[in-house]
Structure 1
Amino acid sequence: MGDGVTKRTQADMIREALADRIVHGFLRPGEALDETTLAAEFGVSRTPVREALRQLEANGLALSRPHRGAVVTTLSEAELDETFVVMAELEALCAKLCAQHLSGAALQDLMALHHRGASAAAENDIMAYRIHNERFHTAIYAGSQNEFLERTTLAVRRRLAPFRNLQFEGSHRPKASHAEHAVIVDAIIEGDAERAAAAMRKHILIVRKAVDDVAPESVGSTIGGARS
């Protein structure tokens, strides 16, 4: 029983480490997740690595290929389009509810959070802006004051995280993203729910196009046939 607890703890640790690498762009869509290599890196047997990969699959961040091991999730172009459409509508609803519910100090906090991303955007500091971007969108989800919507939106975001992170490798994409965020924040502060929703929807669909512009090779393959 003790061994089982140890293995679960190791698996959770490995899953969290790999998920962090995927979400922050260190592991890219289609990249292999080799059990033997990972076991050596983390100093464990292949059993907790295998369990960690299963957990990543359950979260939509990895894909197991028969007889070829696991890779970071790759989606076909159609699947990516469909998922981004859902993402855009969920985030638009979050922004709409923020505009309806946030007031006072909460609005000031959102504005301050947005401004904290300015330097990373201006300097094209991709890693710093990725972190800021995640915090910004997470704050919008929480600001909806709808826990079910927040959980649902976070789940879809995890599915798209590897692709959303790719966008920032485009020319001055952090600066453009920050400008798009400003339109969303202004609408929320003014309490204009429909404009906030429209601005967020437009932003997410711009992100979808940016993924193709930066790394068209990351799409176009089916879930069952990721590029190696």
Structure 2
Amino acid sequence: MNYVRSEQPLDLASAKEERPKTRAELIKEELADAIVRGAIGPGVALDEMGLAKRFGVSRTPIREAIRQLEAIGFAEARPRRGAVVAHITQARLNEMFAVMAELEAMCSSFSALKMPAEEKAALRSLHEQCAEFAEAGKLEGYMDLNFQFHEAIYRGTHNSYLTELTLSVRQRLAPFRRAQFSGFDRLKLSVVEHGRVVEAIERGDADGAAEAMRQHLQIVRDSVDEVKG
């Protein structure tokens, strides 16, 4: 995967031109959402034939979707017996979100210090687009822009290793972060939280940006618990 190097500015136009999701990725997302909500519990077998029938596809995209679930820790492979849903404890989830919060806080801090004016303007534009989608209640569009917003902050660090590391951890938490938007008015509240981060980055306030992002991630963590009930 290629990331923006320290000498390259953030290219907002290219960030928007994302490839369409594959069938396997869409199936993975649906299964991951069901796992987060408890609709598919820990230890449940991910039967390829049954899932292929359910989604109306061949076993190939099902097999790839399961492989992707394994890659983010949502499924566990069993030799010659297929995969089962992994058991993610509350303690483990707390640990993952604690690391995510600190990584994103560091990204926000670095971006406040290193983002040039044009990148800050691009970040502001993404934030405003997020606000428009939230106001219209366009969930899927908002979630795509939400990812672009956070990725712009990762890339704004101009530290390729930190960008790679943060994206890697985010991938593991992505299904939980998607689930938060089932909570009451999370779209609009998320925009308010993002606004505090953007304002701190724009004024070059590294400590303020880091703290605003930590608070945002803590609210996301709490919202996940509300969705899981």
TM-score (norm 1): 0.77
- Return the offset for 1:120: 1.8
- SS of residue paired to 1:144: coil
CA contact (8 A) 2:69 2:75 kept: yes
Change (3 A) 1:148 1:19: farther
Question: What is the CA-CA distance between 1:116 and the residue it aligns to?
Answer: 0.4
Residue in structure 1 matching 2:25, options 3, 16, 34? 16
Q: d(CA) in 2 for partners of 1:52 and 1:169?
A: 23
Question: Is residue 218 of structure 2 the alignment partner of residue 209 of structure 1?
Answer: no
CA distance in 1, matches of 2:95, 2:52: 35
In the alignment, is residue 112 of structure 1 matched against residue 145 of structure 2?
A: no
Equivalent residue in structure 1 for 2:90, among 77, 80, 85: 77
Structure 1 unmatched runs, 5+: 1-12, 217-228
Q: How far has the Cα of 1:59 moved from its partner?
A: 3.4
Task: Tell me how far apart the structure 2 counterparts of residues 181 and 47 of structure 1 sit (CA, whole Å).
Answer: 39
| Preserved contact between residue 92 and residue 196 of structure 1 (Cα < 8 Å) | yes
Q: Please give the secondary structure, in 1, of the residue aligned with 2:84.
A: strand
What residue number does 2:181 align with?
168
Q: Deviations over 1:4-60 (max 9, x none)?
A: xxxxxxxxx66434345467x4x442536430034444643x477446523431233
Q: Percent identity?
A: 44
Tell me which residue corresponds to 1:222. Answer: none
1:140 paired to 2:153: yes
Q: CA RMSD in A?
A: 2.6
Once superposed, which parts of structure 1, at least 4 consecutive aligned residues long, lie more than 6 Å away?
Answer: none
> In 2, distance between residues paired with 1:129 and 1:74?
29
Instruction: Give the paired residue count.
Output: 201
| Shift in Å, 1:127 | 2.1
Does residue 54 (structure 1) correspond to residue 63 (structure 2)? The answer is no
- Maintained 8 Å contact 2:108/2:209: yes
The residue aligned with 1:94 is: 107
Provide the rounded CA distance (Å) in 2 between the counterparts of 1:194 and 1:83.
22
Counterpart-to-counterpart distance in 2, 1:128 and 1:48: 24
Provide structure 2 residue ranges, at least 5 long, that are not aligned to the other structure.
1-21
Shift in CA distance, 19/152, structure 1 to aligned 2, threshold 3 Å: farther
